[in-house]
Amino acid sequence: AQSVTQLGSHVSVSEGALVLLRCNYSSSVPPYLFWYVQYPNQGLQLLLKYTSAATLVKGINGFEAEFKKSETSFHLTKPSAHMSDAAEYFCAVSLGDKIIFGKGTRLHILP
Amino acid sequence: EPEVTQTPSHQVTQMGQEVILRCVPISNHLYFYWYRQILGQKVEFLVSFYNNEISEKSEIFDDQFSVERPDGSNFTLKIRSTKLEDSAMYFCASRDWTGAKNTEAFFGQGTRLTVV
Give residue-wise pLDDT tens across range B90-99: 999 999 887 7
Q: Are strands A33-38 and A87-95 parallel, antiparallel or unpaired?
A: antiparallel
Pair B31, B50: CB distance under 8 Å: yes
Contact residues, chain B, for A46 at CB < 8 Å:
104, 106
**A43 Cβ contact list (under 8 Å, min separation 6):** B91, B107, B108, B109, B110
pLDDT for the residue numbered A101: 95
User: Residue B102: its pLDDT value, please?
Assistant: 77
Summarised one tens digit per residue, pLDDT across range A43-73 is: 899 999 998 878 999 999 999 999 999 999 9
pLDDT digits (tens, 9 = 90+) for A2-52: 789 999 999 999 999 999 999 999 876 778 899 999 998 888 999 999 988
User: Which residues of chain B have a CB within 8 Å of the CB of A51?
Assistant: 101-102
User: A78 near A62, Cβ under 8 Å?
Assistant: yes
Q: What is the pLDDT of residue A20?
A: 98
Give residue A1's pLDDT. 65
Name the residue of chain B whose CA is nearest to A51's CA: B102
| B3 pLDDT more than 90 | yes
**B56–A97 CB contact, under 8 Å:** yes
Render pLDDT for B19-75 as a digit per residue (tens, 0 to 9): 999 999 998 899 999 999 998 889 999 999 999 999 999 999 999 999 999 887 899
Split at pLDDT 50, 70, 90, the class of B101 is: confident
Which B residues 64-83 touch A at CB under 8 Å? none
- Considering only CB atoms, B107 lies closest to which of A43, A50, A52, namely A43
B96 to chain A: closest CA residue: A97
User: Cβ of A102 under 8 Å from any chain B Cβ?
Assistant: yes
Tell me the residues of chain B between 26 and 45 that have a Cβ less than 8 Å away from chain A.
31, 33, 35, 41-45
Judge residue B22's burial from the number of C-beta atoms within 10 Å of its C-beta, 0-12 exposed, 13-18 middle, 19 or more buried.
middle
